[in-house]
Structure 1
Amino acid sequence: MSSSETPGSPSATPRGPVDSSRIPRYAGPATFARLPRLDEVGTTDVAVVGVPFDSGVSYRPGARFGGNAIREASRLLRPYNPAQDASPFALAQVADAGDIAANPFNINEAVETVEAAADELLGTGARLMTLGGDHTIALPLLRSVAKKHGPVALLHFDAHLDTWDTYFGAEYTHGTPFRRAVEEGILDTSALSHVGIRGPLYGKQDLTDDEKMGFGIVTSADVYRRGADEVADQLRQRIGDRPLYISIDIDCLDPAHAPGTGTPEAGGMTSRELLEILRGLASCNLVSADVVEVAPAYDHAEITAVAASHTAYELTTIMSRQVAAEGSAIKHSAEARGAAEGAR
Structure 2
Amino acid sequence: MSYKSLFSRALSLDPERLHFAAHSHHLWPDASFDGQMRAWVEANRFADRKWDLIFGEVIPEAQAHVARELNLPSPDSVVFATNTHEFLLRIVSGVEAKPVRILSTDGEFHSFRRQGERWEEAGEAVITRIPLHPFDTFETRFLDAARAGAFDLILISQVFFRTGQVFGGITELAELARPEGPWVVIDGYHGFMAMPTDLSAVADRIFYVAGGYKYAMSGEGAGFLHAPDGFCPRPVITGWFAEFGNLTGPPDGVKYREDAGRFWGATLEATPFYRFNGVRRMLDEAGLTTADVAAHARGLMQAFQGAARDGRAGRLDRAELLNPIDGDGVRARFLAYRHADAQDWRKRLLDAGVVTDVRDDVIRFGFGLYQDTADLERLIATCARVL
**TM-score, structure 1 normalization:** 0.34
